[in-house]
């Protein structure tokens, strides 16, 4: 497990338990005997003897694995045209998920190169690259780590390959008008592609195959980033994040 | 965290706690009043009221992160000549570590290609490859996952780079006489290298730089696999595996 319980936590649990348990004892003794002095005496004796016992009991259970369940990881897979807003929404979702304290890793096309080198932009190269990323996600999932991944991933076949490799795959299609993306072109990549300086650029000189069965579709023409992120988090809470 | 506590576990803890706690109550009441009937009555009332309370108390604490500590991951890094026996010892250590239920991943040069493609065997290529593997280990360590890695890793500089990137790095130098490795050559790789069909083959036509400060050195001429694995597990238990 990713976290272990500290001694301090076990002690704190002992005291918090004792507070509630002794209150119940005091109430019961008072109800039965109608005597406050007896009730308080019972409370004092119980407190002293049980705090230590509770602590020992906690530490013993720390060593027992039975009844612990591996957390089920999910993979949130953002796909869409370059500059459609995938990374921005994915970053916000990742931020919002922090408060649930689930083990989770952010994987973005621009960061992944340190780990898995880009090998090219032909269909075959892209599919091979996707396959490697699927492998990474699988390795993380083996260890209960969920993932928030954002990749253009323009081909149906490679998204399908990812879906087959990982579990609890949630495809988020970030749908944006190609004209909107071009207008947003702060990196100048669309301009380059349109001038023919970038080959195999999805949406310009290579195809982007729209997902047919995305779990979630975000239409960026009608939905703000904040609203989209909230919608995705709600979907995850409903289906995968169980506390 | 990788595991979460099931409802069943919380209930079981409630009953096990109640057994011990009520025994203490019964003994105290008997010692004070010398009456078995009163002692038993107290035990019955306490049992009924507290099992439910304990269960509720456990479930509330499930939602509180305070006092939980992230598990510190380690990286066990096996280095040595090709066919020195790194993978065999690493596999056995990995097997033995299972019983401690720590989150752990096995990374071997022969399996890693699905994830991170080999880019070549020149010094630069190897160093770049090692850097990527360091990145993978770091990603896993961010999520409290320990690693058992086995790579020839012939250059001091790349082992040093790994040490800088990851934490709790334990280098295991699997020391084997080059003649022993050649004799073990069931894959025929040494023969190929000696015939000049493999370039940059560590120990034949490329250097293997012995580690100067390996945490553990296994001399395969004098130590059996089982003994070596035991020694390594003992080292980990002493330094990193704290239950």
The band of A2, judged by pLDDT with boundaries at 50, 70 and 90, is low
3-state class of A172 per DSSP?
strand
pLDDT of residue A1: 46
d(CA B175, CA A196): 55
3-state class of A212 per DSSP?
coil
Question: Taking all residues of chain A, what is their mean pLDDT, rounded to a whole number?
Answer: 87
Closest by Cβ to A116, choosing from B70, B101, B116: B116
Percent of chain B with pLDDT over 70: 97
Closest by Cβ to A115, choosing from B54, B57, B136: B136
B106 to chain A, any CB pair closer than 8 A? The answer is no
Residue A89 has pLDDT above 90, yes or no: yes
Interface contact A115-B103, CB threshold 8 A: no
Domain parsing of chain B, residue ranges: 7-62, 75-239
Mutate one of A1, A35, A68, A72 to test the B interface: name it (highest B CB count within 10 A): A1
Positive or negative torsion for Cα A214, A219, A225, A228? negative
Residue A157: how many CB atoms within 10 A of its CB?
Answer: 11
Residue pLDDT, tens place only, B100-149: 888 899 999 887 777 777 677 788 888 888 888 998 999 899 888 999 99
Query: What would the CATH number be for the domain defined by A75-239?
Result: 3.40.50.300
Nearest of A176, A77, A90 to residue A133 by alpha carbon: A77
Residue pLDDT, tens place only, A131-149: 889 989 998 998 889 999 9
Residue B3 has pLDDT above 70, yes or no: no
Mutate one of A7, A67, A113 to test the B interface: name it (highest B CB count within 10 A): A67
Residue of B nearest to A65 (CA): B101
Interface contact B103-A2, CB threshold 8 A: yes
Percent of chain A with pLDDT over 70: 98
Closest by Cβ to B139, choosing from A12, A21, A105: A105
A27 to chain B, any CB pair closer than 8 A? The answer is no
CA distance B39 to chain A (A): 12
Interface contact B65-A21, CB threshold 8 A: no
Residue A243 has pLDDT above 60, yes or no: no
The band of B1, judged by pLDDT with boundaries at 50, 70 and 90, is very low
């Amino acid at each position: 497990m990713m976290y272990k319980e500290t001694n301090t936590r076990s002690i704190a649990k002992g005291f918090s338990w004792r507070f509630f348990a002794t209150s119940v004892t005091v109430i019961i003794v008072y109800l039965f005997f109608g005597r406050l002095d007896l009730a308080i005496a019972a409370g004092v004796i119980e407190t002293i003897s049980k705090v230590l016992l509770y602590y020992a009991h906690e530490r013993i259970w720390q060593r027992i694995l039975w009844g612990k369940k591996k957390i089920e990881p999910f993979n949130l897979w953002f796909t869409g045209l370059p500059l459609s807003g995938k990374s921005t929404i994915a970053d916000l979702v990742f931020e919002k998920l922090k408060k649930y304290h689930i083990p989770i890793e952010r994987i973005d096309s621009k960061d992944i190169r340190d780990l898995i080198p880009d090998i090219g932009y032909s269909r075959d190269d892209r599919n091979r690259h996707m396959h490697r990323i699927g492998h990474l996600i699988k390795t993380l999932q083996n260890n209960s780590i969920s993932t928030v991944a954002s990749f253009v991933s323009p081909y149906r076949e490679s998204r399908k390959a990812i879906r087959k490799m990982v579990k609890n795959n949630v495809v988020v299609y970030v749908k944006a008008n190609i004209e909107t993306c071009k207008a947003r072109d702060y990196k100048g990549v669309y301009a380059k592609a349109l001038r023919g300086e970038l080959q195999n650029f999805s949406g310009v000189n290579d195809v982007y195959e729209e997902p047919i069965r995305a779990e979630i579709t975000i239409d960026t023409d009608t939905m703000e980033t904040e609203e989209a992120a909230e919608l995705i988090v709600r979907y995850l809470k409903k289906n995968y994040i169980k506390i």
